[in-house]
Amino acid sequence: MDGGCHRGRGLRSGPSHGSHGRPHRAGLRGTGRDPWLGDDEPALHRRPRARHVHPRPVAQGETMTTPAAVVWDITYACPLRCEYCYSESGRRPSQQLSWPDLARVVDALVELGPRTVVLSGGEPLVVPEIFQVAERLRSGGVSVHLYTSGWHVTDRIGAAVLEVISNVTVSIDGATSATHDRLRGRAGSFDRALDAAARLSAAAAGRHEPAVGVDYTVTRSNFAEMPDFCRLVATRLPSLDYVFFGAAMPIGLASREGFVAHEIVTPRQLTLLRDDSYADTLRAHVGADLVVSDNGMFQMHPDRLAQGEIPAMQVEPDGRVRAMPVYEGTVGSLLDEPGTTLWRRAMARWSDPRVTGLIEPARTMEAWADATRRLDLMFGDTEDRRRIERRPTFP
């Protein structure tokens, strides 16, 4: 998934960014409005256009009959080869649907009734019908967010984004081309991402939407560049609405033992990501809203689920729904069954003793990575397991 999420994903998982007018959540540093809830929700933000995407606690009295948000990895096609991609996009068949089936998935999502759908990938801008998808969602009353590497952003595409997207996030994972291009697996990707963020944020300035931001996946080797990146944003992206720093999670390709040993953040770095004073230091360099997160809620630890930190529904390109956003294993397809049925089935997986038995004791990044590898093999299908077996070692 583009954005390192998470999801970022993610979210990035599921989706990932922001905080709001509820008790402070561990691992999330910064201020910002909650896009799941809309403009009428009390918020702590200071910038009127800053919007972020993050799993959120369930409000008192709220039911879980439908997810507040859906992340749809609409294609696994991607021009980049990110070393930590949780979906291994660009390394597997795209699973991209034709327009008739895309429309069916959209209609199923509208019927499900989330407040937000995040279009991610892979690179969603390679899908020819991406703006038809976005317009159909908006017509159904759903806010549309877009994650992109920026590789394909032109003036024409930028103009289309302004018309149908509520929030667009560009992934940039370093303050230099050397760092970003190494992690993202393609020369020139830093310059294109920076240009895309500049083009989109400048075009959106003065408009109510879209909000335009940058997602920075934090690894061991790019951690030290975070302050320089904030300075870069201040000089090169003066119209940007937000910056999100989220720790690379030990999922997908990033769960490989070599990647965990060399690139997952160290305990000291993780402590700093959870430190308000460190976030304040970064914030001093940039005018945009800034959020720092350890992304720990994407682990779906039973303790955090019990606190009401509910993730987005995760949809694969072909309409299948994952039981848990960052782990392999689906519970059915939106082309075959109602979204509410699949959501209930997904939630049942979260309390499966086989799941909780692996996640509950995983209190370190290394333990989380081990749980990920076991869960992926346990719940992935035959093709998933074959793909996992073919993964190259890192470094």
153-173 pLDDT, tens digit per residue, is 999 999 999 999 999 999 999
Share of the chain above pLDDT 70, in %: 84
What DSSP string runs through 14-52? S------SSSPPTTEEE--B-TTT-TTS----SSTT-B-
| Average pLDDT of the segment spanning 98-117 | 98
What is the average per-residue pLDDT within 205-233?
A: 97
Domain ranges of the chain: 28-389
pTM greater than 0.75 (yes/no)? yes
**Per residue in 227-266, is it b (16+ CB within 10 Å) or e — as a string?**
eebbebbeeebebbbbbbbbbbbbbbbbbbeebbeebbbe
Task: With H, G, I as helix, E, B as strand and everything else as coil, classify residue 71.
Answer: strand
Domain covering 28-389 in this structure, CATH number = 3.20.20.70
Q: What is the pLDDT of residues 299-344, one digit of tens each?
A: 999 999 999 899 999 999 999 999 999 999 999 999 999 999 999 9
Say which amino acid occupies 163.
Answer: E
Scan for tokens 């959020």, then name that residue.
291
Find all residues with CB under 8 Å of 383, minimum gap 6, and list them.
none
Does an H or E element contain 309, and which?
A: strand 309-310
Q: Could you give the angle at the alpha carbon of 219 between the alpha carbons of 218 and 220, nearest 5°? A: 135
pLDDT for residue 119: 98
Asked if 321 and 331 touch (Cβ cutoff 8 Å), the reply is: yes
For residue 330, how far is the Cα from the chain centroid? Answer: 18
Yes or no: say if 16 and 92 are a contact pair by the CB < 8 Å rule: no
Q: Distance between CA 314 and CA 303 in Å, rounded? A: 21
Residue % of the chain over a pLDDT of 90: 82
Average the pLDDT over 15-32 and give the result: 32
Query: How high is the pLDDT of residue 1?
Result: 52
User: Are 366 and 260 in contact, with CB atoms under 8 Å apart?
Assistant: yes
Tracing tokens 């008790």 back to the chain, one arrives at 23
Give mean pLDDT, residues 242-269.
98
Alpha carbon 48 to its chain's center: 22
Bigger pLDDT: 54 vs 181: 181
Residues 6+ apart with CB under 8 A from 85: 1, 78, 91, 252, 253, 254
Whether residue 395 is preceded by a cis peptide bond, meaning omega within 30 degrees of 0, is yes
Strand partners, 310: 56
Q: Are strands 56-57 and 69-73 parallel, antiparallel or unpaired?
A: unpaired
pLDDT (average), residues 277-290:
95
What pLDDT is attached to residue 287? 87
Residue appearing with tokens 């060399």: 262
**pLDDT above 70: residue 220:** yes
- The per-residue DSSP string of 98-161 comes to PHHHHHHHHHHHHHH--SEEEEESS-GGGSTTHHHHHHHHHHTT-EEEEEE-STT--HHHHHHH
d(CA 20, CA 352): 31
**pLDDT above 90 (res 38):** no
Q: Report the pLDDT value the prediction gives residue 2, as an integer from 0 to 100.
A: 55
Q: What average pLDDT is seen over the chain?
A: 87
Q: 64 pLDDT band (50/70/90 cuts)?
A: confident
**Euclidean distance between CA atoms 34 and 45, whole angstroms:** 9
Q: Identify whether the C-beta of residue 95 lies closer than 8 Å to the C-beta of residue 387.
A: no
108-143 pLDDT, tens digit per residue, is 999 999 999 999 999 999 999 999 999 999 999 999
Q: What's the rounded Cα separation, in Å, for the pair 304 and 254?
A: 22
List, in sequence order, every residue forming a beta bridge with 56; answer none if it has no partner.
310
CB neighbour list of residue 337: distance below 8 Å, 6 or more residues apart? none
For the cut 80, the answer to whether the pLDDT of residue 39 exceeds it is no
Q: How confident is the model at residue 101 (pLDDT cuts 50, 70, 90)?
A: very high
Six-digit token string for 39: 């403009």
